[in-house]
């Protein structure tokens, strides 16, 4: 199992990075990305801090992917900050998409889906076909999320992904221990979003290192 969107107390989560990894390991996860909320003020610190936990993750049998979630960043600044994150050592860059739950700047999805340094567009809301096509061309995945509120548009995201051939990932957007999903919960989220059993199996078991070009 994988989860490419989690938060720790380095931003607004409740857990130390090592505790998050440990709890994920107990649930059976093989891959976890720590992607705390980032902008220009803390990006470097977050990448360096999460990177220090790689050894602990290996002890627990978890492949730790170090990353950030660019959050409420002006669209025009997304490419530069995403590139800087990768330059600083981030394995993954998630962009906080235009969820219907928050006042994300219009144009965020557009900018993220055209950026070569972005890997996942988190909770993309009512993402357009045009933006999804751009994401598909660059191998950027759209997120199906279990996060309350953000998950209101999961069905729309699945329909657009099918139409455009865009990759999908299932993530938790974990902030608290109870947010981490069991295997059964992941299946429920995938099927509940409208994926078939075959599609769910493919999305939930995909090669994450290949997705991220690691």
Task: Say which CATH number the domain at 171 has.
Answer: 3.20.20.140
Among 3, 14, 13, 5, which Cα is nearest to 62's?
3
Q: State the average pLDDT for the chain.
A: 97
Residue 102 has a pLDDT of: 98
Predicted local confidence at residue 89, as pLDDT:
97
Confidence band (pLDDT; 50, 70, 90) for 209?
A: confident
Nearest alpha-carbon partner for 34 in 59, 63, 72, 61: 63
Instruction: With cut-offs at 50, 70 and 90, classify the pLDDT of residue 24.
Output: very high
Check whether 32 has a pLDDT greater than 90.
yes
Q: Is the pLDDT of residue 214 over 80?
A: no
Q: What number is the average pLDDT over the span 106-124?
A: 98
> Domain containing 110: what range?
2-211
Span 149-168, average pLDDT: 98
Q: What is the pLDDT of residue 189?
A: 98
Unique residue bearing structure tokens 């981030």:
90
pLDDT for residue 197: 97
Number of domains the chain is built from: 1
Predicted confidence band of residue 166 (pLDDT cuts 50, 70, 90): very high
CB 66 within 8 A of CB 119: no
Q: What is the mean pLDDT of residues 98-106?
A: 98
pLDDT for 18: 98
185 token code pair: 């919960």
Predicted confidence at residue 169, as pLDDT, reads 98
Q: Is the pTM of the predicted complex or chain greater than 0.85?
A: yes
pLDDT at 210: 86
- Point out which residues pair with 93 in neighbouring strands: 68
């Amino acid at each position: 199992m994988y989860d490419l969107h989690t938060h720790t107390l380095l931003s607004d989560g409740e857990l130390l990075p090592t505790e998050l990894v440990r709890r994920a390991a107990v649930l059976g996860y093989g891959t976890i990305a720590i992607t705390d909320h980032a902008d220009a003020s803390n990006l470097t610190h977050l990448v360096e801090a999460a990177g220090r936990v790689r050894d602990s993750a290996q002890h627990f049998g978890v492949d730790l992917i170090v990353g950030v979630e660019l959050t409420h960043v002006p669209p025009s600044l997304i490419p530069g900050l995403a590139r800087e994150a990768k330059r600083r050592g981030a394995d993954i860059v998630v962009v906080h998409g235009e969820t219907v739950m928050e006042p994300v700047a219009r144009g965020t999805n557009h900018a993220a889906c055209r950026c070569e340094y972005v890997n996942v567009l988190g909770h993309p809301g009512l993402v357009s076909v045009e933006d999804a096509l751009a994401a598909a061309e660059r191998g950027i995945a759209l997120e199906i999320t279990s996060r309350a509120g953000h998950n209101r548009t999961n069905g729309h995201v699945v329909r657009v992904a099918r139409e455009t051939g865009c990759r999908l990932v299932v993530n938790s957007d974990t902030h608290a221990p109870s947010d981490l999903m069991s295997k059964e919960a992941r299946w429920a989220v995938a099927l509940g979003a409208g994926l078939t059993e075959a599609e769910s199996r493919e999305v939930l078991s995909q090669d994450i290192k290949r997705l991220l070009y690691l």
